[in-house]
Amino acid sequence: RTLAEAGEYKVKCITVQPGQSLSLQYHHHRAEHWVVVRGQALVQIGDIEYLTRAGEYKFIPLKEKHRLTCVGDEELVLIEVQCGDYLGEDDIVRLSDIYERV
């Protein structure tokens, strides 16, 4: 859900259930900052995966492939700050998606 939005930034709260993940994707027009609020995330940036816990942060550069997976038994809650010249949902390039979205 979107918490705030203005011009060149958007702030979202993202929740992911245990064992679930977002698509492997990248963006042409925005970078993202991810802060884990609750739970544990496996954050893939490029070809490297980082175990990221509550209170920890990861930066996703423009055009870098990335994925978010909830690991552990607790729901993952993450704050995402998008920064860029275009923040539309159609700027998602999915490389792999378990839900078969395009």
Q: What are phi and psi of 90, to 5 degrees?
A: -80, 5
Q: Residue 17 and residue 26: Cα distance in Å, rounded?
A: 22
Q: Residue 28 and residue 31: Cα distance in Å, rounded?
A: 9
Nearest C-alpha neighbor of 39 from the set 59, 13, 63: 13
Q: Output the pLDDT for position 97.
A: 63
Comparing 95 with 79, the larger pLDDT belongs to 79
Confidence of residue 2 (pLDDT cuts 50, 70, 90): very high
Q: Is the pLDDT of residue 18 over 70?
A: yes
**Mean pLDDT value across residues 14-27:** 94
